[in-house]
């Protein structure tokens, strides 16, 4: 049994090493960069897709945590002495937070990076203060 585990570990290490080497060898489009400007523009192009990837991962993990939370609450209903209700509630809260994270992040980025000043208008604030007083 121990030899089988060692063989599987060795096989997994060889497979992951070959995947990494194959990935690095196949990306010859970026290998022709010779100046610092080319390298920095390639890095910028590569990083541009990361927010979409993080949003997708956040949605999937939020969905998984929500499903696990519902299952934990079901376990609590079936056997309250072994499974506490807080376990399911925590998973539901984490799932909701992860599911809403991309929406909140996009709203914050839009508010900060938007160049128009319609988000905070001084005239509107003055009118609100006059109405309150």
pLDDT band at 84 (very low <50, low <70, confident <90, very high): very high
Collect all residues with Cβ–Cβ distance below 8 Å to 80 and sequence separation of at least 6.
Answer: none
pTM for the predicted model, two decimal places: 0.54
pLDDT for residue 29: 54
Pick 19 or 87 by higher pLDDT: 87
Lowest mean pLDDT among 11-15, 104-108, 121-125: 121-125
| Other residues' Cβ atoms within 10 Å of the Cβ of residue 98 | 19
CA geometry: angle at 28 spanning 33 and 26, to 5°? 155
Taking alpha carbons only, the member of 77, 93, 96, 94 closest to residue 85 is 77
Measured CA distances, 97 to 59, 89, 127 (Å): 10, 12, 35
| Other residues' Cβ atoms within 10 Å of the Cβ of residue 72 | 20
Say whether pLDDT at 41 is over 90. Answer: no
pLDDT for residue 60: 93
pLDDT for residue 88: 93
Q: What is the pLDDT of residues 56-79, one digit of tens each?
A: 899 999 999 999 999 999 999 999
């Amino acid at each position: 049994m121990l030899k089988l585990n060692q063989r599987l570990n060795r096989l997994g290490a060889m497979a992951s090493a070959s995947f990494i080497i194959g990935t690095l060898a196949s990306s010859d489009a970026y290998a022709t960069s010779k100046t610092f400007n080319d390298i920095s523009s390639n890095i910028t192009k590569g990083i541009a897709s990361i927010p979409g990837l993080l949003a997708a991962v956040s949605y999937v993990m939020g969905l998984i945590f929500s499903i696990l939370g519902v299952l934990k609450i079901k376990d609590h209903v079936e056997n309250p002495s072994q499974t506490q209700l807080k376990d399911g509630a925590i998973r539901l809260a984490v799932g909701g937070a992860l599911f809403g994270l991309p929406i909140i992040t996009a709203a914050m980025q839009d508010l900060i990076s938007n160049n128009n000043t319609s988000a905070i208008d001084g005239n509107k604030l003055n009118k609100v203060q006059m109405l309150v007083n």
